[in-house]
Structure 1
Amino acid sequence: MNCRTWKMHKDELPAMLFIIIPLLILLPITANGDDPLSTFCNPDFNYTRNSPFENNLKLLRESLPSNTSVNGFYSTSVGGDADRVYGQALCRGDVNSTVCRSCVEKASQKILNQCQSEDALIWFELCQVRYSFRMFFASMDYTGKYPEQNNMEKNISHPDRFDRVLTYLMKNISYKAASAPSNAMFATGEIKCSRKQTIYGLVQCTRDMSESDCHTCLQFALGDLRACCSSLEGGIVVSRTCNVRFELYPFYNSSRFLLTYPTSEGAAWKIWVVVVVICIPIAILAVFFGSCALYRRWKKRPQRDDDERSQNTLLHELASPTGVAITQDGGLVNSEELLFMDLSLIMAATDDFSDSNKLGKGGFGSVYKGVLPDGMEVAVKGYQGNHGKAWRSLKMSSSLLQNFNTETFSDLEKRTQLDWKTCYNIIDGIARGLLYLHEDSRLKIIHRDLKPSNILLDHEMVAKISDFGMARIFGENQNMANTRRVVGTYGYMAPEYAMEGIFSVKSDVFSFGVILLEILSGKRNSGFYLTKHAQTLIAYAWRLWNEGKELEFLDPLLMESCPTREALKCMHIGLLCVQEDPAERPTMSSAVVLLGNEAITLPEPKHPALAVRGVRIQSDLLLSTNPSMNQLTDSGFSAR
């Protein structure tokens, strides 16, 4: 290079820097991979190639990129009647229109290539595209997904401190996104975790959400983010209506929203030193003198009976900080956060566990109705026998047993009080409760003991699922499990579970199908083999269905207030849920859609599962277990 050439480049250098620097600034935004973060294709609703639905879907795809690029969000529908397609696209709030259009175009093409479903959603780092045969606009629908990139993040040091600072950051920017419409339901922020470590966070909702729905969705997502990634250097959770992400580097191009964690490390260290110096000697002396006093009292007092000692042992375990329970929103809480009452208060509320207040009997003891001094009605479960198992049951159900009364669907006197609308709402409530446990909760929960006595109704006849003593929690990617300890109630257990110990969400679907058929017929599956109709209620329903005599299956009391078409549709859904092959049974999300949509054509049910009565079981699996009340409850299954 000669001197003249160098001089020319030197003269042009400022202009070159002027061009290059903005490109470097935009690098985190434009350097986006071709692979999506996650894709959801609903396997229960596939469309036919070259159908009107697919043609409408292609028209929708063509309209999304340009329209979304205008302001980063767009919702529309194409077609009419049964072939209508609803579509929505959202770009991340910090990208320009060019990047937005490119991302939506890529996502729209990718989702058509990967899915042949009428209900699908795809997430990229900078945008997401969703379409469905059902109208979903302005409806908060949370089912959190963990993209694979979370698995590539490294662990961080001092995870407790990191989690506290991360939570503080994400809650603040979530409030900013949800409460200020001018922010387009989008917010970013950063906070110092240590001298060398800064956390960068991002949250976003779809812009058709209300403030409260956006806030609720982000709360669910943050719970999942903490569960999966609070000990990692980065993490992301995506869902249908909101997304959250954090990293230890600035991954977004947005104005800085700086936060400062309230307590500095230095102040926390000083407080900790003071607490240690003052409290440890006092604590040692208190323990010493307290132990001496307790020992003297123990030596002098008479021994209490076994029931009282067992009760106090259980209460002591309940107060342990290591105890964990499942709340109604699917979260995990320490037992310290649960409500505790003196035994004397509980005994007064239940009139000393009077038989007149007895609501029912479960695997570990009876359930009693109680009224607290402030008028609140509660259900109190007394535990007997093996308290190790009882404690597990209590942990799983303690926060769900409030303000409900158990109803029996086959009780003739109570049955006359149930019209079709009430029964239909109960069916829908049970279905939505299971859907929440299987898909919308922070944790995928398999109930394993769904039966009428575990369906509680409040004074407005709203159904709630209770008694999670047999429940199992599944991991994010876990779909099935196997056990040698079969628990549940005969008559409601899926055959693959009763005979092989295999359980999944489809096991609960089977139980739901049995309950649905019971509600429609007014008959219990328990003891049905004693009737002249068939060996099981399921077999009876199947026979009448095949003979075209479905109306004979329906309860005459219901028919007085029931549209025949709705009742037969419910019977159809019930038979789909109890099919022998678990893969043929619908998911609970599909069941909810089928219950609420008259336009959908239901597939023909296949042969139902006709499981076994407890007295005739020959499975080594079941013979190896103790068929006690705590494990198996015989409700009268008949032989296949």
Structure 2
Amino acid sequence: MTSSRLMILCFAFFSISIFLRHAIAQPDFQIYDCVENQGNFTTNSTYKANLNHLLSTFTTDHQINYGFYNFSYGHQNRANVIGLCRGDLTLLACTTCLNNSRTLLPLLCPNHIEAIGWYDECMLRYSNRSIFGSMETSPAFRAWNPNNASDPHRFIQLATTLLQQLTHEAALGDSRLKFATGITSVPNFPTIYGAVQCTPDLSPQNCTTCLFGAIQRIQLCCDGKAGGRIGRPSCNFRFESYLFYKQSSISLAPSPNPSLPPSPPPQRKASRRVAVIVASVVVCAVIITITICIFLTKRRRRNPSTQVPSTGMALEDEETDIESSQFDFDMIKIATNGFSDGNKLGEGGFGVVYKGRLPNGETIAVKRLSRASSQGDNEFKNEILLVAKLQHRNLVQLLGFCFKENEKLLIYEFVENSSLEKFLFSKTFLCSIHLLFSIFDSVFVLRIIFINFGICNGADPKTGVSLDWKARYKIIHGITRGLVYLHEESQLRIIHRDLKASNILLDADMNAKISDFGTARLFLHDQIQGNTRKVVGTYGYMAPEYVHKGHFSIKSDVFSFGVLVLEIVTGIKNNQVHLDNEIVGLVEHAWRNWQNGTTQNIIDPILTSGSKTEMARCIHIGLLCVQENVAKRPNMGTVLLMLNSYSITLPRPSQPAFILSTTNSQISEQSNNNSTHELNDMSITELYPR
């Protein structure tokens, strides 16, 4: 091999290695989104040419030194690009970040018409539609500091106040910069640093709306954490317990032009053949490298975990953006016939529920929150922020919301068969006579007549639909699957805190749907337990550690589920057991019979068909769920396995909580009422094992 050819090959391999190293060393986005619903473009399309031109030139405009780039190019299939740098960056840092973005984003989202990517210091997005001057809230992302705040509630409260103050300052910025930073310092409390920013093309009003909307989601993002952020296409905020931005008064100032290096001395011209070979090798290397990069980035995109740094981060779902789910008040008023009594479906502690029909014919359920309720605002925010994120066949779907002055409405899917409570506990006068007859075997014929006519037999008195064992077992399964989703499978971990028969709705096929998330609490996936000074829920269903100490966890919901299962199998409300002039709770009644081996005696007598073994097994599972020892209660995933597999041997339950006697029966007598009370002395929370 001649020396000239050896030099050519060495040069080619050197070029390939340098190019590969540069391409692979391209820093990853914190997070990015290839917007699928905007479609794709073809390789030779006009849009691709326009986009390539924009991306290759938009940071070369040296008149822009304030970190906001917004350009369009092309008469047909126009491409639009926005680049936004954090307001405290130097011009060099800004252009470096945007240059990395314009290189990486097309590789991560090949042929996607619209895409957006975020680095810590800048954001880049492009599209074929007009994106200038309009406030856009999705796609969006949220991220959180992995460290917990020492006083989570106060930390979030102070951070929220700081960010709201900074919002007013940022909104007053000009068309070049809408960015504000600040700190809040309270004695004997960590300093909190905050920053907010809008794209400068927004009006002050739109900037404020965008940031306030993001700040309202702060608990979804980073409740209990020592820092967090939410990024939207049109705005973003961040807060931390450490300084994360530059405090220099000079930001995004143009760097002085460096002196140009001397021109290299003229080189001796190589032969034409060598030049062609070198050019060919380099072109091949570039093609191979681009192919490798596309392959690697596609692999990276298939595995979303590679997009997420050590701090928690997630894309927010565009479809669950609650701001696009607002209904017109007058339309809802017409749909419910002016909230007439004839359309009333039920009434609870937080308001009245009405049936309505939208102009398109869809039937809805409208919860009109009580104006007098001090918890109305909290419930309204809770249900919108939490339920809008939850999608499961065993949860009632929130369709949207509406508010006008003092009116707050939540619009749900309509569930045909009302609540489980009405099927289990709709006791009429005739039903009371039936219960009296049930004591005497000599009037067995009369009992049969009552059952055959649907009197007090687990049937809805309005529809006559009966609740046989097959239906009840299906309902238990549905509630279990819904709780497994809430506790383990959803992107948010939700503790319901008020699980009871009236909050289980039944659709036309008798599928169970968990409803009423006004008292629900959000947990992060690595969080096991929380506590509160205000205990809300329903006596008889609430776990003892929650009532006495304010401790709540997934095991609190498990306790409520256990009580609910016992009610479903026995047909007895948890506070309506009278034995020999003694009032006891259903849990104690079931426990006594289980200990005595007489479990069959507490099965609802109208369940004349169905597996008695299955019914007894459900009572056993219910008793496992209401054990006083929190650690011994199974989680809902284990309960689902117990229901699905008879090969699993059930452990022996230990003594349940809330064994009631005549001395404390007043608690059970209140069990049908929503209860709220304050805890004066709060102990340090201990983490319970799962």
TM-score (norm 2): 0.46
Structure ID, larger Rg: 2
| TM-score relative to the length of structure 1 | 0.49
Larger relative helix fraction: 1
